[in-house]
Amino acid sequence: MNAIEIRGLSKSFRGLYAVDSLNMTVPVGAIYGFIGENGSGKSTTEKLICGHLVPDKGSIKLFDRKYTNAGVRARVGALIENTGCFPNSSVWDNLMMQAINLGLSDRAGEIDRVLRIVRMEDNAKLKFKKCSLGMKQRIGIAMALLGDPALLILDEPINGLDTDGMRMMREILVDITQQYGCTVLISSHILGELEKIATHYGIIRQGKMIQELSAKDLESRAKGVHLAENAEYAGGFRTSAAEVPGCSGRGRLYPYLRCGRYGGYCGAFDGKQLPSQRDQKEQDRSGRILHRTDEQEGGVKRWSRHTN
């Protein structure tokens, strides 16, 4: 049984498709990294799964049941875009209001449980407006965990966090799956962080699912060209994983995702040609322009260096 099974899902706004014939399969117990650049359709897909938007066409099943089923909806927790907390209320009070809204019986006990999961038990009396960004993200996850859901949907919860915040978020998500048996769908454009915890991946671009694969498949199938944008080599830029010492090559998944170690841009995935897109330009610290064209050579995007 799959936690999420989507077939042919589409959603348009004013004639433009934000999600276009998308298929997705999330196994039960997985940490599913939903990866794509900004505007690729990640948040729209998650809103469709949560019932915040109505699809134009396609089907969504959660635990083998239609996503609109009241019983299955009660098994889903979500944090999309923001926590929706009252700034002048304490962490505890915000959680209590959500617990009342959900109709939970042992509200105090449930709040204590979720606060322990997100490492916030010592900050329950703190006003929400005085919390740091990382704390606010954890409070949002705590609210989504109220009622012990079987599926947790998170929209870019690691964006803007510092190193310690990202580390703590990773630990929390791993605990949620391993200790509580919860399936997690987490969207992000930061592959370097997701690759540390994700068991499965889905890559979306321009509303279309480009590829779905497991972490093991990623290790064995990822092939492509790296560009370490600030590292010059032999009078030019290093252009292969072998020429970038210590780089695992796992960042080679998607042309607009940065390599987790060197911040370089990826050029191809397993020889798979990606949809055409306008030329892109990046400027390095020396002022030279890196120009990507849509020419393909063996499935790899070609890069050239120009000097103004």
pLDDT tens string 169-179: 899 999 999 88
Which of 117-131, 164-178, 207-221, 294-308 is predicted least confidently? 294-308
pLDDT tens digits, 247-285: 444 443 433 343 343 333 333 333 333 333 333 444 444
CA 265 to chain centre: 18
Q: Domains of the chain: which residue ranges?
A: 2-212, 222-306
The predicted structure's pLDDT at residue 162: 84
Q: From 3.40.220.10, 3.30.1280.10, 3.40.50.300, 3.30.499.10, which CATH number describes the 2-212 domain? A: 3.40.50.300
Q: Is the pLDDT of residue 191 over 80?
A: no
The CA distance from 3 to 150, in Å, is 8
Token output for 154: 């998170």
* C-beta separation of 100 from 147 below 8 A: no
pTM, 2 dp: 0.71
Dihedral of the alpha carbons of 241, 246, 251, 252, in degrees to the nearest 10: 10
Specify the residue for token string 């409070």: 139
